[in-house]
């Protein structure tokens, strides 16, 4: 198994890490067409900055296509916690895009296998993803590929772990309201993008980032699969790197922003 070392960019704080990541996304949107989108709390400042960056700078005429990584099963698109609603508010409307320029897995589909296949087909039809934006779960998940997910998995219906669901209780208001399943792009799907950009901030992600960069490459930490891709940039703040230990010492010159 050939592995690569991701480029690690250390920023002074979470806000500057989000700005740095947003600047790269803005550049990609101006030059390329298809971008893979992540959601979640870490991404919120990134989308705010992106909106600001692109204000008054129209995107290329042929337009962009945003392809979401995942969606909860059983949430209507208009549900405020659906990833469709998140991306409509954070990406589609602020950038003046149309409904045809965003693809989100259909979490309401009766046939979820067919919905997952349609999502893969949409990625293929768009010509593949140029830049895939990623966050990381405290358990090392990417998209909703929970620990144990095969490194070559494709888009599919998955069950969410108790840890992942617990992290969402505050947003949903109660434990019972948090969905138990999601449709997620697989790890193999993610690795199919031409470039990967991960944004990691906060102490709560430190153990996961350490496992991803310095632990073994295997399904126990889905984010470790990033090391199977030659074009990966990880942008993080000091809190997220606090458990990297000797990994940082071994890096000859970690880049800073």
- DSSP 8-state class, residue 133: E
218 catalytic? Reply is no
Query: How many angstroms separate the CA atoms of 97 and 197, rounded?
Result: 22
Least Å distance between CB 202 and ligand F6R?
8
Q: Is 90 buried (19+), middle (13-18) or exposed (0-12) by CB count in 10 A? A: buried
Q: Which of 20, 70, 130, 157 binds ligand F6R (CB under 6 A)?
A: 70
Least Å distance between CB 42 and ligand F6R?
3
Report yes or no: 186 and 149 within 8 Å, Cβ to Cβ.
yes
Report yes or no: 217 and 1 within 8 Å, Cβ to Cβ.
yes
Q: Which of 9, 21, 25, 69 binds ligand F6R (CB under 6 A)?
A: 69
Query: How many angstroms separate the CA atoms of 203 and 201, rounded?
Result: 7
Contacts of 56 by beta carbon, 8 Å cutoff, 6+ apart: none
Q: Which of 24, 33, 119, 141 binds ligand F6R (CB under 6 A)?
A: 141
Q: Which stretch binds ligand F6R (CB under 6 A): 34-42, 111-119, 152-160, 189-197?
A: 34-42
81 catalytic? Reply is no
Torsion of CA 83, 86, 91, 92, to 10 degrees: 80
- DSSP 8-state class, residue 145: B
**Of these residues, 20, 70, 106, 130, which one is catalytic?**
70
Least Å distance between CB 222 and ligand F6R?
9
CA neighbor of 175 nearest in space, from 187, 160, 189:
160
**Residues 72-111 as x/- pattern, contact with ligand F6R by CB under 6 A:** -----------x----------------------------
139 catalytic? Reply is yes
Q: Which of 3, 13, 27, 41 binds ligand F6R (CB under 6 A)?
A: 41
Contact residues toward ligand F6R (CB under 6 A) are 38-42, 69-70, 83, 135-137, 141-143
Residues with catalytic roles: 70, 139, 141, 146
């Amino acid at each position: 198994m050939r592995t690569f070392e991701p480029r690690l960019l250390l920023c002074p704080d979470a806000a500057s890490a989000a700005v740095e990541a947003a600047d790269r996304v803005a550049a990609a949107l101006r030059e390329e067409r298809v971008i893979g989108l992540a959601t979640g709390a870490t991404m919120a400042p990134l989308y705010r900055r992106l909106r600001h960056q692109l204000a008054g700078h129209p995107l290329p005429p042929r337009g962009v296509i945003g392809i979401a990584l995942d969606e909860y099963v059983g949430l209507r698109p208009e549900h405020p916690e659906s990833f469709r609603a998140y991306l409509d508010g954070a990406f589609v409307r602020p950038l003046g895009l149309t409904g045809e320029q965003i693809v989100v897995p259909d979490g309401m589909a009766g046939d979820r296998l067919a919905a997952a296949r349609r999502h893969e087909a949409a990625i293929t039809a768009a010509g593949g993803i140029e830049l895939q934006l990623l966050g990381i779960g405290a358990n090392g998940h990417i998209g909703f590929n929970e620990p144990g997910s095969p490194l070559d998995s494709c888009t599919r219906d998955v069950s969410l772990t108790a840890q992942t669901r617990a992290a969402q209780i505050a947003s949903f208001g109660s434990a019972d309201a948090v969905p138990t399943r999601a449709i997620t792009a697989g790890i193999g799907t993610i690795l199919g993008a031409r470039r990967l950009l991960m944004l990691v901030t906060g102490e709560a992600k430190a153990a996961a980032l350490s496992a991803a960069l310095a632990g073994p490459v295997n399904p126990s930490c889905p984010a470790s699969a990033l090391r199977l891709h030659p074009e990966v940039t990880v942008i993080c703040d000091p809190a997220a790197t606090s458990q990297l230990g000797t990994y940082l010492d071994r890096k000859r010159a970690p880049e800073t922003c």
